[in-house]
Amino acid sequence: MSSQIELSTLSPVFIVDDDEFFRMAIYSVLRDRFGVETVIACATSQEAIEHLSGDVSFGLGLIDLNMPGIDNRDLLDSIKARQPQIRLVVLSASRSRKDILMALSAGAQGFINKGLGIGETEAALQQIADGGVYVPPFTPQSDEPEDAVVPEAAKSGVSLEALTPRQLEVLRLLVAGQPNKGIARALDINHSTVKFHLSYIFRILGASNRVEAAILGAKLLADIE
């Protein structure tokens, strides 16, 4: 019941997806499972932008990629420009690293793959409602050419052996999309300790930011688990 109260505070919510079946499925999850009273479901980006340009302030937006007639980044930028306060989430079948990084750099609070089960999708939405950032639990597919710039960790064959058991726990929570406060709470450690561990993890992985560390960490964790 508590999850319903928390997510319902983000009402009204809008959905942009040209797949009618999936659009209605998410509509039902928001209304029936989370108790969100007002859900606006849009089949086109133009319809969504019209709603967003009005006086209604939306708390959460769930956006599909590759909508007809508009570039993915342009759509996300248009939404954030009209509703800067919105918690923006990409719901997509894509497993592309490029798409995930694009969405998060555009200000999205999460990237949820449509292949997740309904339970995992609900958990991801709740994590975002709680203020976290959700990234996929799978290893994203690379869509870059072989001669593209590769993070240092991928080139050097770095392993996780340099991390302590506690740092591995921090990395797992980072990969799961937990913010620093969530990591501190889950491990019962203070915020500065989390920052210290993350700084070391970034250096070991050769990552320059949380998203890159999460992507690299997911691949390395999958190799050992």
CATH number at residue 91: 3.40.50.2300
Judgement on whether residues 109 and 26 belong to the same structural domain of the protein: yes
Check residue 140 and give its pLDDT. 55
Instruction: Tell me if 120 is assigned to some domain.
Output: yes
Distance CA 10, CA 93 (A): 24
Domain end call among 77, 96, 129: 129
Q: Which two tokens stand for residue 154?
A: 């991928």
Digit-coded pLDDT (tens) for 132-158:
778 776 555 555 544 444 444 444 456
What average pLDDT score do residues 201-222 get? 82
CATH number at residue 183: 1.10.10.10
Judgement on whether residues 116 and 21 belong to the same structural domain of the protein: yes
Check residue 5 and give its pLDDT. 40
Contacts of 49 (CB under 8 A, 6+ apart): 78, 79, 82
Instruction: Tell me if 184 is assigned to some domain.
Output: yes
What average pLDDT score do residues 47-75 get? 91
What's the domain range around 202?
152-224
Instruction: Tell me if 200 is assigned to some domain.
Output: yes
User: Cis omega before residue 137 (within 30°)?
Assistant: no
User: Which residue would you say has higher pLDDT here, 49 or 212?
Assistant: 49
Judgement on whether residues 65 and 110 belong to the same structural domain of the protein: yes
Contacts of 119 (CB under 8 A, 6+ apart): none
pLDDT band at 62 (very low <50, low <70, confident <90, very high): very high
Helices 97-105, 210-224: axis angle to 10 degrees equals: 150
Distance CA 175, CA 133 (A): 10
Check residue 77 and give its pLDDT. 93
Please state, for a pLDDT cut of 70, what percent of the chain lies above it: 87
CA distances from residue 194 to 132, 166, 171, 173, 207 in whole angstroms, order as listed: 15, 10, 10, 11, 16
Confidence (pTM): 0.63
Instruction: Tell me if 61 is assigned to some domain.
Output: yes
Digit-coded pLDDT (tens) for 38-60:
999 999 999 988 888 888 899 99
Residue-wise burial string across 76-111, b where 16 or more C-beta atoms lie within 10 A, e elsewhere: bebbbeebeebbbbbbbebbbbebbbbbbebebbbb
The three-class DSSP label of residue 11 is coil
Instruction: Tell me if 138 is assigned to some domain.
Output: no
Mean pLDDT for the chain?
A: 82
Instruction: Tell me if 141 is assigned to some domain.
Output: no
Half-sphere exposure of 145 (CA within 13 A, CB side): 2
Judgement on whether residues 70 and 114 belong to the same structural domain of the protein: yes
Q: Has residue 213 got a pLDDT over 60?
A: yes
Instruction: Tell me if 146 is assigned to some domain.
Output: no
Instruction: Tell me if 144 is assigned to some domain.
Output: no
Per the CB < 8 A criterion, the answer to whether 36 and 63 are in contact is no
Judgement on whether residues 19 and 99 belong to the same structural domain of the protein: yes
Judgement on whether residues 116 and 170 belong to the same structural domain of the protein: no
Domain end call among 67, 98, 129: 129
Digit-coded pLDDT (tens) for 1-34:
344 446 777 889 999 999 888 888 889 888 888 8
Q: Report the domain count for the chain.
A: 2
